[in-house]
Amino acid sequence: MTSRRSVLKSIAAFGPTALFGSQALHAVTHWMSTALPGISAADAARDEDFWLTVQQAFAVDRTIVNLNNGGVSPSPRTVQDAMRRYTEQANGIPAYELWRHQEPMIETVRDGLASIFSVNPEEVAVTRNASESLQSLQMGLPMEKGDEVVTTTQDYPRMLTAWDQRVRRDGIVVKKVKFPVPLMNSQDAVDAIAAAITPRTKVIHISHVVFLTGQIMPVRDICRLAKERGVLCFVDGAHSFAHFPFTQKDLECEFFGTSLHKWFVGPIGTGMLYVKKDRIPSIWPLMAAPKEQDANIRKFEEIGTHPAAIHNSLIESITFHRALGVERKAARLRYLHSIWTDRLGSMQSVRFLTNIKDDANQCGLRLVHIEGTDPGKLSTYLLDKHRIFTVAIVHDEFKGLRIAPSVYTTVSEVERFADAMMLVASGQVKDLG
């Protein structure tokens, strides 16, 4: 087994540009896959030697504490290196390199993603983001005037906009139900959706992880409800895939769309669409495909000329994901959050928008609100005074700061955030209301 010391020695041998050399980069990834044998994920989450090496796989700006990794995350250096390499190769002789060499490489990526999700590769399309994946379903499902969609007030705006366009275009009906925040009993969400179903309901559209709060939704129960009622269920997995352990079988879903530039740390502009094989013919692709592809998952990839380098670089994201291990990733994210939630939890003015005492409710994304503060002003204060980057959430039903560290985030960075928030929560910082 390769030791961490030997890995660091091999990196040091390359001099000041070590971490930009492919050999050193792959040494780090290889080491992760064999490190800490027999150690539980919970114990691994606290092994700072291990996570120091993981952190060295990323080229990030440490002058800012980035706690907004939910929208889009940096990619490991190996991924960036692969994208540069493929781009340079394509520009040598584009028509030959792209269509004869690089495009066929997507099949290896498809196989890798399918393996992680534990599905047939013929059920996986490689897309550009969760929006493209989900709108392929939303716009591609035949619907008639009066047909109904049940979703929630907390689903992603772009997806709600897509359904609203179908309201204007096709005369369908969209019902947006509410559920409690924080969600202390997951059955409350299931019951709210069930109550909105009628004989005209065609689709339930649900987020696996609510982008606003980080709430992990009871997707399997909702998928089962949909099946019992003869309704389709579209699962928005933009914030769940590669975030914590699960496969398609755990969700029992037939449709699932996600982005790969979030928790999967893939190249910016990558996504995945899963459609159960016998459902593929029932969905029209966003962009036209020949009739011969009616039952082929690849019809959802017919987007015209595009840089193959982006989706082919996912092979390095797949390698990194497998080497790190999703169990260790999830445990590390929960540990990093515990550092600041444990401290702020004692403050009367602090409110958490998920049940932080139950890991089944959230993982790497949390929403917190300090009473009497405006989230926008608080976010600006943290950036201007402490160089901490967060995102302010203001929703009709709640508000707060969304906090999303990553595997490259250090304990000291989280402690820095906790210190700044304690100043606010204790009333030492004024004019944030």
% of the chain at pLDDT higher than 90: 91
Q: Tell me if 387 is assigned to some domain.
A: yes
For residue 26, pLDDT beyond 70: no
Residues 341 and 308 reside in one and the same domain: no
Please identify, among 318, 352, 378, the residue that sits at the C-terminal boundary of a domain: 318
Residues 210 and 122 reside in one and the same domain: yes
CATH no. for residue 292? 3.40.640.10
Residues 284 and 178 reside in one and the same domain: yes
Q: What is the mean pLDDT of residues 370-394?
A: 98
Residues 215 and 273 reside in one and the same domain: yes
Please identify, among 295, 318, 341, the residue that sits at the C-terminal boundary of a domain: 318
Nearest to 36 by CA among 4, 7, 58: 4
DSSP state of 101: I
Confidence band, pLDDT 50/70/90 cuts, at residue 387: very high
Q: Kindly write down the DSSP assignment for every residue of 171-190, as one continuous string.
A: --EEEEE---SS-S-THHHH
For residue 22, pLDDT beyond 80: no
Q: Tell me if 382 is assigned to some domain.
A: yes
Q: Which domain holds residue 17?
A: 1-35
Please identify, among 318, 343, 365, the residue that sits at the C-terminal boundary of a domain: 318
Residues 419 and 279 reside in one and the same domain: no
Residues 310 and 412 reside in one and the same domain: no
Residues 311 and 366 reside in one and the same domain: no
Yes or no: say if 257 and 235 are a contact pair by the CB < 8 Å rule: yes
Q: What is the mean pLDDT of residues 43-55?
A: 95
DSSP-derived 3-state class of residue 216: strand
pLDDT digit string (tens) for 277-328?
999 999 999 999 999 999 999 999 999 999 999 999 999 999 999 999 999 9
Decide which of 26 and 360 is more confident: 360
Residue 12: the pLDDT is 40
Q: Tell me if 27 is assigned to some domain.
A: yes
Yes or no: say if 397 and 322 are a contact pair by the CB < 8 Å rule: no
Confidence band, pLDDT 50/70/90 cuts, at residue 249: very high
CA distance 246 to 236: 14
Triad 111, 284, 253: Cα angle to 5°: 55
Residues 377 and 232 reside in one and the same domain: no
CA distances from 125 to 32, 89, 259 (A): 28, 24, 12
Confidence band, pLDDT 50/70/90 cuts, at residue 75: very high
Q: Tell me if 72 is assigned to some domain.
A: no
Side-chain half-sphere of 386: how many Cα atoms within 13 Å?
A: 24
Yes or no: say if 402 and 365 are a contact pair by the CB < 8 Å rule: yes
Rounded mean pLDDT of the chain?
A: 93
Residue 24: the pLDDT is 52
pLDDT digit string (tens) for 122-157?
999 999 999 999 999 999 999 999 999 999 999 999
Residues 339 and 398 reside in one and the same domain: yes
Q: Tell me if 433 is assigned to some domain.
A: no
Residue 28: the pLDDT is 62
Q: What are phi and psi of 43, to 5 degrees?
A: -75, -40
Residues 138 and 221 reside in one and the same domain: yes
Least confident range of 17-31, 102-116, 256-270: 17-31
Residue 351: the pLDDT is 97
Peptide bond into 281 cis (omega under 30): no
CA distance 296 to 279: 10
Q: Tell me if 257 is assigned to some domain.
A: yes
DSSP-derived 3-state class of residue 394: strand
Query: Can you tell me which residue has the tokens 């709430």?
Result: 215
